[in-house]
A and B are shown apart, each in its own frame.
Chain A
Amino acid sequence: MKKVILTLMAIASVGQLAMAFCGFYVAKAGADLYNNKSEVILVRDGSNTTITMSNDFSGNVKDFAMVVPVPNVLDRSDIQIADRSIFQMLDAYSAPRLVEYYDYNPCGLPMPSMMDVSMEKESTTKMATYTARKDNFNYKVTIEAQYSVEEYDIVLLSAKDASGLKRWLVDNGYSIPAKAEHVLEPYIKSGLKFFVVKVDLNKYNPKANGGFLRPLQIKVKSDKFMLPIRLGMANSVGEQDMIVYAFSKRGRVECTNYRTVKMPTDNLVPTFIKPKFGTFYTDVFKNEYRKVGKNAVFLEYAWNVTPTFNGMKCDPCVGNPPYTREITMAGVPWANQNGVTTFFTRLHVRYTLDKFPEDLFFQETPNTEMYQARYVITNPATGDLSCAEGRVYQDKLRLRRRKELIELASLARWNTDSYYDYIAHGTDKVRSNKAKETDHNIKNINVPFWFFGKGSTPHKGLFLLVFGMLIVYSVKRLKLTLVKG
């Protein structure tokens, strides 16, 4: 029995994470399945979309399989094998970043004026186990095309009904999650085809590519600019993360049926988060995710990456910006054309079935404003600070550190009481062992009527004022109408 990945588009490659993809894995009982992060590159050019799906599958390749709904039957030329390194490259370039600055010693001693940058990727791990179920149905499935693309065996199917398709997959050695049929049905009725992939063991060389399967890159033609995430949630109970690297000619790519929200950026945070930046960002993301009601798409990076563009490609760069070669590898057909803009957007979506009932739809916008999720730490001056300016500096430093702690508490929801020594000494020594880094019980505020809860801002007061006026006015009007009537 094969492990089947029915995913919006695909699976993933083995990175630092054991397995990650936006679909579901199916395995025999007992097999542990990791289902955490998938990465997709989207290139939008008119009504053509090139989709590159990372492949983090690290089990036995004979168990690998994948089902992707596609709008049309693909030609052989629409299917390419991409290089795994492109995902690592784009991720390193666009990941949320921590910037480090150094204060000058006001008492005149020369200080290092360098600016250092460190970066870590956020990672989340979710584990899900599924069991297979066998059903007996008649199938009305047509094999529209069949290709052998390097180590992959690819079939394009069209189906008349979901039970038939499911039966076909089962009879051909794929095991399908119980609820998949329910999700396959709307796709079949919408006229979608199914891109079904497995590995040809005769052509697969386990020694090549570090033993990993390479990403598949497909080109589809449709006015719909979307990612069918629903299939990947057919049997999943937990949260799944997906990073979308989008390229367009105009500007930012945004989601049209969910909110696209910017991550907080340029916040000054305590120096001690440097070694734990990954944890910090994961918590910031988790906090923002809760704040928006768990149903928004997050913008983590947006930049003009046109190879001929002379401006800065990042500020600061945490990885090399993509140039013509990488942009072409990502599936951009216009990378070599002069005078055509290439705009890059990184979106991060954490989705669950209850909060994301619909597939993700996107649009290109003319918005070319650059954006990056960036956090800043500032190292204090060292040396003798006994001069008058030095003492003023130390007062300011304590004030700044207090603000940094407040920022940390509001951004990542860390309990900063335990870091009290940071203000005076700059250490992250924890005073009491009962204090925990994160407090997950803090109530999340996403309802506009929660004006007095934790995290109240002056904005909420303003909203209350306007809304109150609205109510007063309505009551006034109602009375007037009643009197007249």
Chain B
Amino acid sequence: MYSKISAHFNKETADPRYFQILYLGSFLVYGLCFLGWDGDAIKYIAIFASAIVTQMVFSYFTTKQYSSVKSALITSLGLSLLLKTGTIETAILASVFAISSKFLIRVNHKHLFNPANFGIVAAILLTNDAWVSPGQWGSSVLLWFIVGAGGLMMILKVGRIDTSITFLLVFGALLFIRHVIYLGWEPQVWLHKMSNGTLLLYAFFMITDPMTTPNHIKARILWSSLLGGALFVLSTFFYVQTAAIWLLFGVSLLTPIFDKLLIATKYQWNNLTASTINNPNQTT
């Protein structure tokens, strides 16, 4: 009996999405408990409920694979962590748009946009009531460590460590050259910029989504270098404080081109679990 449960547990937990849910969930709790975010429970419930319902509805009409609710949870957590809004309606709109984008905007059996990112962009563009707070995480070094370590574990499982590392290296190096070597600020200024919690969460969570990054490793390295370089230019010379959100949206459009040029196998969430390994229509 125990071994059966244990085997089931092992099979289930092999899905890296469980780790993602716990990882992002702990960040939400951290933000609410320690960083004094507005603990508007109804808003979070609305995000989660509308994401799950949307996912279920689309699943019913497409794959009938309800295990993908895990992905809806991840998207909801991403939205809860990044999107700020004063009204429930905006929260629901972001959530519905995020999940719908996975089913409606698809190229080569992959969805084009990171769902949470798409939801945030939709909310900002379509309502007058949504924003992101790049400063909400602060820049504590301890946080850097936790996000880094946790994020590293997460992406090792997902297998997209190259994206995060390349992005942080390119962005960090350009920032260092500009601020420390050229302008002459102390390294602390650079460290302060690099240890911004929002940047790290973005690097370890938003841009490592295996469904919206190119399949081939070389393509991913190019893709994330492009993202890092563009973010540096936009934030340093054009002072776009929320550039990261817009850039990911734009760079996602390049993913199918990269996939066409450099062919590699598409990522499977459940590749460790035998039950769904051969399901090519698995949506996340």
- Which residues from A are CB-within-8-Å of B192? 257, 357-358
Asked whether A457 lies within 8 Å of B241 as measured between CB atoms, the reply is no
Q: How far is the CB of A454 from chain B (nearest CB, A)?
A: 16
Asked whether A256 lies within 8 Å of B133 as measured between CB atoms, the reply is yes
Asked whether A462 lies within 8 Å of B134 as measured between CB atoms, the reply is no
Q: How far is the CB of A150 from chain B (nearest CB, A)?
A: 33
Q: Does A199 contact B (CB under 8 A)?
A: no
Asked whether B33 lies within 8 Å of A457 as measured between CB atoms, the reply is yes
The 9 closest A-B pairs by CB, nearest first: A459-B33, A186-B183, A357-B188, A259-B138, A223-B239, A185-B184, A466-B26, A365-B131, A470-B22
Asked whether A257 lies within 8 Å of B131 as measured between CB atoms, the reply is no
Interchain CA distance A466-B146 in the complex, whole Å: 14
Asked whether A357 lies within 8 Å of B138 as measured between CB atoms, the reply is no
When the two chains form the complex, which single residue of B23, B131, B157 contacts A366, counting CB atoms closer than 8 Å? B131
Q: Does B257 contact A (CB under 8 A)?
A: no
Asked whether A474 lies within 8 Å of B153 as measured between CB atoms, the reply is yes
1/0 contact trace for A455-477 toward B, CB 8 Å?
00101101100110110011011
Which residue of B has the minimal Cβ distance to A478? Answer: B153
Asked whether A293 lies within 8 Å of B138 as measured between CB atoms, the reply is yes
Complex A-B: 20 CB contacts under 8 Å: A182-B184, A223-B240, A254-B135, A256-B135, A261-B36, A293-B138, A357-B189, A357-B191, A358-B192, A365-B84, A367-B86, A368-B86, A462-B33, A463-B26, A466-B29, A467-B26, A474-B153, A476-B13, A477-B14, A477-B19
Where the two chains meet, the residues of A that have a C-beta atom closer than 8 Å to any C-beta of B are: 182, 185-186, 189-190, 222-225, 254-262, 292-293, 295-296, 354, 357-358, 361, 363, 365-369, 446-448, 457, 459-460, 462-463, 466-467, 469-470, 473-474, 476-477, 480
Interchain CA distance A368-B47 in the complex, whole Å: 21
Asked whether A256 lies within 8 Å of B134 as measured between CB atoms, the reply is yes
Q: Does B275 contact A (CB under 8 A)?
A: no
- Given known contacts A365-B133, A480-B13, what 4 new A-B pairs fall within 8 Å (CB)? A258-B138, A295-B139, A470-B23, A476-B9
- Which residues from B are CB-within-8-Å of A467? 26
Where the two chains meet, the residues of B that have a C-beta atom closer than 8 Å to any C-beta of A are: 9-10, 13-14, 18-19, 22-23, 25-26, 29-30, 32-36, 84, 86, 128-131, 133-140, 142, 146, 150, 153, 157, 179, 182-186, 188-189, 191-193, 196, 238-242
| Contact flag A259-B239 (CB < 8 Å), given A460-B33, A477-B157 | no
When the two chains form the complex, which single residue of B19, B136, B157, B184 contacts A186, counting CB atoms closer than 8 Å? B184
Interchain CA distance A292-B240 in the complex, whole Å: 27
Q: How far is the CB of B138 from chain A (nearest CB, A)?
A: 4
- Which residues from A are CB-within-8-Å of B191? 357
Asked whether B22 lies within 8 Å of A466 as measured between CB atoms, the reply is yes
Asked whether A448 lies within 8 Å of B22 as measured between CB atoms, the reply is no
Interchain CA distance A170-B14 in the complex, whole Å: 68
A-B contact count (CB 8 A): 126
- Which residues from B are CB-within-8-Å of A223? 238-240
Interchain CA distance A255-B134 in the complex, whole Å: 8
Q: How far is the CB of B231 from chain A (nearest CB, A)?
A: 14
Interchain CA distance A292-B30 in the complex, whole Å: 13
Asked whether B19 lies within 8 Å of A259 as measured between CB atoms, the reply is no
- Which residues from B are CB-within-8-Å of A358? 189, 192-193
Q: How far is the CB of B85 from chain A (nearest CB, A)?
A: 8
Interchain CA distance A185-B137 in the complex, whole Å: 30
Q: How far is the CB of B221 from chain A (nearest CB, A)?
A: 25
Which residue of A has the minimal Cβ distance to B32? Answer: A459
Asked whether A224 lies within 8 Å of B13 as measured between CB atoms, the reply is no
Asked whether A357 lies within 8 Å of B186 as measured between CB atoms, the reply is yes
Interchain CA distance A476-B157 in the complex, whole Å: 13
Q: How far is the CB of A397 from chain B (nearest CB, A)?
A: 31
Interchain CA distance A255-B139 in the complex, whole Å: 13
Q: How far is the CB of B41 from chain A (nearest CB, A)?
A: 13
Which residue of B has the minimal Cβ distance to A449? Answer: B142
Asked whether A224 lies within 8 Å of B239 as measured between CB atoms, the reply is yes
Interchain CA distance A396-B188 in the complex, whole Å: 53
Asked whether A185 lies within 8 Å of B36 as measured between CB atoms, the reply is no
- Which residues from A are CB-within-8-Å of B240? 223
